[in-house]
Amino acid sequence: MTSVVQDVRYSLRTLLRHKGFTIVSALTLALGIGINTAMFSVLNTFLFGSLPYPQPERLVRVWRTSSYSQSWPHSAANFFDQHDQNSVFEKMAAYRFVGRNLTEPGQTAEHLLSLAATTDFFPMLGVPPEHGRVFKPEEFEPGADNVIVLSDRFWTRRFGSDSSVIG
pLDDT tens-digit readout, 95-142: 888 898 988 888 888 899 988 888 888 888 888 888 888 888 888 777
Which residues lie below 8 Å from residue 122, measured CB to CB, with a gap of 6+?
128, 129, 134, 135, 149
Tens digits of per-residue pLDDT, 51-93? 778 888 888 888 778 788 777 777 888 888 988 999 999 899 9
Contact 120, 92 (CB under 8 A): yes
| Alpha-carbon distance values, 90 to 20, 62, 123 (Å) | 64, 14, 11
Read off the pLDDT of residues 13-55 as tens digits, 9 standing for 90 and up: 988 899 899 999 999 999 999 999 999 888 887 777 777 788 8
| Domain residue ranges of the chain, discontinuous segments joined by + | 2-46, 56-165
Whole-number pLDDT of residue 23: 92
Q: Decide if pLDDT at 1 tops 70.
A: no
Distance of alpha carbon 13 from alpha carbon 117, whole angstroms? 68
Residue 136: per-residue pLDDT? 82
